[in-house]
Amino acid sequence: MSWRGLKKKPTIMPLWPEEWNTLIDSLDDIYSWLFAGTSDISANSVEANSGNFKESLYVQGKPVIKDGDPININDIFDPAKAKITEAVDAAKVTATSEDIKAITSSISETALQILDKAISILEEFKPVYTSKSLSDDENTGGLEITLEKGGRPNVNVYYRLGGPGELYIDVSVDGENWKTLYSLNFTEPTEDIIIVRGVAFPFVRARVPTPGIDVELIAVASR
């Protein structure tokens, strides 16, 4: 190593005043370069806890933006535009008219299936009903009505009998094999509504087997 003419000396040789002064001058130079910024110093790697740059800072030959520095949008707009255009072009998919028709057809079929399912669900929430009536001279064998209510659990049965008679409310899982849910016997003309909740059977039947009287029956099912 040589610095300002200084060179290594044997261990036993004395250090003359001018050599000592040259060493101090060299240390002063290094100190000034490091702390006063009076010269250029190049290093392969610099590690520090903090730093304070009084003037500009350059990284790979380009200035680092500081608070208060003006920003030219043109400097970043064109490169950003080019990158975005490149990304959009890369994402484009070339499709033939047949491909588009197939995709559209598939979407249409799926949409129709969803629509049909939605309509089916809405239909389940829509009340259903049936009704019949007979006058006394028409009633030769009684009257009955059958309602296919599906999954609607709430059933109202309106009945009006013009004289003494019997009323039966039946339920079924298939519309053929019936089980009696209610059995009522009236000794005089009557009119009322039976409200039944939580009926899981998909079929409900109301019947008045008594002939020769006015009869009206209405069955309504809902959710």
- Does some domain include residue 50? no
Please state, as a whole number, how many other Cβ atoms lie within 10 Å of the Cβ of residue 165: 25
Q: Where on the phi/psi map is residue 137: left (φ > 0), alpha (ψ -120 to 50), or beta?
A: alpha
Taking CA atoms, 78 is separated from 71, 85, 100, 114, in Å, by 14, 10, 34, 46
On whether residue 214 sits in a domain, the answer given is yes
- How long is the chain? 223
Same domain, 94 and 160: no
Is 212 part of a structural domain of the chain? yes
Shared domain for 141 and 122, answered yes or no, is no
End residue of a domain, out of 90, 110, 126:
126
Same domain? 119 vs 163: no
220 C-beta neighbours (distance < 10 Å), count: 19
One-letter identity of residue 29: D
Give the number of domains in the chain.
Answer: 3
Does residue 65 sit within a domain?
no
Q: Do 153 and 211 reside in the same domain of the chain?
A: yes
Q: Are residues 150 and 216 in the same domain?
A: yes
72-85: per-residue pLDDT in tens?
A: 656 666 777 777 77
Is 54 a domain residue? no
Query: What is the rounded distance in angstroms from the CA atom of residue 7 to the CA atom of residue 16?
Result: 13
pTM, rounded to two decimals: 0.49
The answer to whether the CB of 208 falls within 8 A of the CB of 186 is no
Please report the pLDDT score of residue 125 as a whole number. 73
The candidate with the shortest Cα–Cα distance to 41, out of 28, 31, 50, 51, is 31
> Amino acid identity of 83?
K
Residue 7 burial by Cβ neighbours in a 10 Å radius (0-12, 13-18, 19+)? exposed
| Domain termination residue (choose one: 109, 126, 143) | 126
Domain range holding 30? 1-40
177: in domain:
yes
**Does the residue 12 lie in any domain?**
yes
Would you write out the chain's pLDDT as a tens digit for each of its 223 residues?
455 666 666 667 676 677 777 777 777 777 776 666 555 666 677 777 777 776 777 777 777 776 666 666 566 667 777 777 777 666 665 656 676 667 667 776 777 777 777 777 666 678 899 999 999 999 999 999 999 998 899 999 999 999 999 999 999 999 999 999 999 999 999 999 999 999 999 999 999 999 999 999 999 999 8
Cross-strand bridge partners of residue 180: 170
Q: Which CATH number is 156's domain given?
A: 2.60.120.380
The answer as to whether 196 is a domain residue is yes
**169, 182: one domain:** yes
Among residues 87, 103, 126, the one where a domain terminates is 126
